[in-house]
Amino acid sequence: MSWLDRFRSLDSRRRRALQKAAPGVLHDFLAAPLVDPKTPLEQVPIVSLDLETTGLDPRKDDIVSIGLVEMRGGAIALGSAWHQLVRLQQDLPQQSVVIHNITDDQMALGRPIDQVLPQLLRRLQGKVMLAHYKAVEQNFIDCACRRLYGAPFVIQTIDTLELGLRVFELQNHTIQSNDLRLFNLRPRYNLPHYRAHNALTDALATAELLLALSGEIAPRGNAPLQDFLSRRA
């Protein structure tokens, strides 16, 4: 994102990106209007998304798996769950195998990113993306869209890390370095323990965490989407 884009509204950035996008899946994605920020959160179509990657730099690292689950009517739609391995052009780095437990043999059963990304964009079209530390999902998908389609990825986002930070600040809690990690926030709300670093499991864990955090941020319910949207560019 350019420094000038940081001063533009999200919808302005979406319309500018739409002008750059050639006809196709990204153009269709960007043509869908943003969700009205005044819509009650319970009525907002949300996709909880997690990417597992070989590192944190989208310019040199790769997406190795994608997991998502949709939220509708303020509930998690388990039947919408989707998990996809992404086949790479080279072998997985050893440290990635250790973290994600995805082997090269498993990776060979995946599909290349240029086949997976269109399906992901269709699942996200017209919806709000939910992630824990959204920079990973936002930056990797944006980099892939620019490389494959020549235009940026623009979407409304809820970030449970930001919401967790907001709750800590409202309660005047001292924040330790690891307090805001996904699997350190969940026990505060008696959410079940899952093994980390599986994209689908992490997407489900993030969706459950949003339901818990929304109860703290808006205990009376019916709060608008704008109260939860990420405030960071």
pLDDT tens digits along 98-153? 356 666 667 677 899 999 999 999 999 999 999 999 999 999 999 999 999 999 99
Predicted TM-score (pTM) of this structure: 0.92
Q: Which residues contact 61 (CB under 8 A, 6 or more apart)?
A: 53, 54, 55, 140
Average confidence (pLDDT) over 62-89: 95
CA distance 65 to 83: 7
- Residue 91 confidence (pLDDT): 61
Cα 23 from Cα 55, distance rounded (Å) = 31
The Cα-based distances of 117 to 29, 41, 144 in angstroms read 11, 27, 8
What proportion of the chain, given as a percentage, has pLDDT over 70? Answer: 89
221, pLDDT greater than 60: yes
Sign of the dihedral through C-alpha 55, 69, 226, 121: positive
User: What is the fold of 5-227?
Assistant: Nucleotidyltransferase; domain 5 (3.30.420)
pLDDT at 94 over 90: no
Are the C-beta atoms of residues 228 and 217 closer than 8 Å to each other? Answer: yes
| Residue 69 three-state SS | strand
* Mean pLDDT of all residues in 32-59: 96
